[in-house]
Each structure stands twice: as C-alpha cells, then as structure tokens.
Amino acid sequence: MSTFCNNLFFYDNPPIELSQIISSLKPHMYTNETILPDKQETPNQVSSVEKCVVTNPRVKERVNLPTIETISPNQKDSLFWCLYIISYGYSDFIQVTRNHRVRQLEVQKQVIDLIQKDKNVMKNTNIKFTNIAIQELTSDLLSITKDINYYIAMALCVLYKININIVNREKGVYVKFISNTDVELPTYAIYREDTHRYSVDIEALSSEKLESMNEMICLESYLTPLKTISNYKITELMEKGRQLGLLDDDKKYKKKEIYELVYNKIRWE
C-alpha cells in the first residue's frame, strides 16, 4: 500500500487529474457498497430464562403427577423472579431483565409500604409473624444482596394476592404459602430444583392439578415437616411411610421408628 501511495503522490510524470486519483484509490475506500460480515451472537449473550419440563420418573412411579412445562429464570434470585412472573407476566419480565436489581428493589419497597400501612396483613397468612419477625422482614426487604428467604416470599404473595405451593418433586412433598387465610385466592406452583434454583408454572393450578398435587405429602411447614409425634396414629404414619416407599412389609416398626423415617425423608433442607 505504501509503495502504491508513493507512486501516486510523489512522481516525476506530469500531474494527473483528481478523478484519476480517486478512481485509483476507490478499491481501498470504505463505502456504502462495502459488504460487512453478518453479526454473530457472542458467547456472553444468553437468554434470561430457560424453559424446562418438570418431570421425575422415580416420583411418578409413586405419585401420578402430570408433566408440566415451566419457566426457570436465569437470574441469581430465581424465587423472586418466579413470583414476579406470576404477577406481572412473562413479557414484562423480559423487558426488565437488564435492570432487574433496580426493579427488584422497587417491588420490595412496595412490600415495605404495604406492611407499614397495616402490619396485620402479615398476620393473616399461614406463617406465624410476630412483631419482631415483621421488623426483621422489613430490614431484609431493604436488601437485594442475597436470595430472598421464605418470609419475603410470603410477603410477596401478600402483595400480589396469590397463594403458592413450593414443590420438591424429588421427595414428593410440597409446602403451602397462603397469603390470606380469610380469602380464597388463586394458587400457583413453584418447583424447587435445588437449594437456590426455582422454576414456575405460569398458569394457576386448576382443580385437576390441585387434586394431583394432593397425592403428594403436604408439609406442616418448611421448618417442621411434621407435627409432634403425639398428633399421629401409627396407621397414619405407616400410610405416609408406604407412600414414600420407606417401609418393608416383612418388618415390624415402632411408632417412633416410622415417625423418624418419614421426618428425615421429607424435611425441607
């Protein structure tokens, strides 16, 4: 290229016309006619959600649960975004993914405003909230540095006026989060894939889905999966043990043995 330019501008021959110079340079010029390679997606450009099919063959042998397509947010705090998708919809969620932390704090501030207007809204849920627990909840809502806990999840249910069942299909159990025990509200299913990963069925549970889910074991809470042993007859515990495939038909069990087997199997970890 340098040789070409030297010959073009530093020469001993008579001057040439400007049009001839431009014509000579044209192959090296960038114009609208230049064809650029197609833009390709970089490895860092990933989808903000994943669609997955919730199924578990081992559980389905024991409990006849339908296969359900769910949405699994890729954001770190997937439980929050599962609840957000239920309330605001999938399309709205897609639009806020770039500013998801700001949007999350805005929503959590709405919960704080709701609680400050009436603390009793948290006392109508199926989780016991003392005044101290409500103060701690308000403090937790001011932060987005870690994943939301189940108290915040319940507070979001109160804000959105929904109930949720958080399901662990591998164990065949679920936990109910009822935001208002005095009012009948739609119930949605959120599936716990692992300790920090959740997916959601965006459709409210129909009567058929609720009936299928009732074939699973409903825990008393995520903290205490069973009531104290005195609340059960041995036949009730045996039924749960057989449902979970824990009992050997040829072996005799004491009530405490069955209770501990069931408790350790279904406890929320």
pLDDT in tens, 236-253: 999 999 989 999 988 999
**How many Cα atoms are found within 13 Å in the side-chain-facing hemisphere of 70?**
27
Closest CA relative to residue 143, chosen from 60, 212, 77: 77
Q: Which residue has the higher pLDDT, 199 or 52?
A: 199
* Average pLDDT for 88-92: 93
pLDDT higher than 60, residue 6: no
pLDDT confidence of residue 92: 92
Q: How far is it, in rounded angstroms, from Cα 146 to Cα 196?
A: 11
Domains of the chain: 49-218 (3.90.70.80), 229-266 (no CATH)
Average pLDDT across the chain, whole number: 82
Q: Which residue has the higher pLDDT, 258 or 4?
A: 258
Residue 144: CB partners within 8 Å, gap ≥ 6? 77, 101, 104, 105, 108
pLDDT tens sequence across 102-124: 999 999 999 999 999 998 999 99
* Average pLDDT for 95-102: 85
Length of the chain: 269
Closest CA relative to residue 147, chosen from 180, 185, 192: 192
pLDDT higher than 80, residue 261: yes
pLDDT tens sequence across 172-214: 999 999 999 999 999 999 999 887 799 999 999 999 998 888 8
pLDDT tens sequence across 55-70: 443 343 444 555 668 8
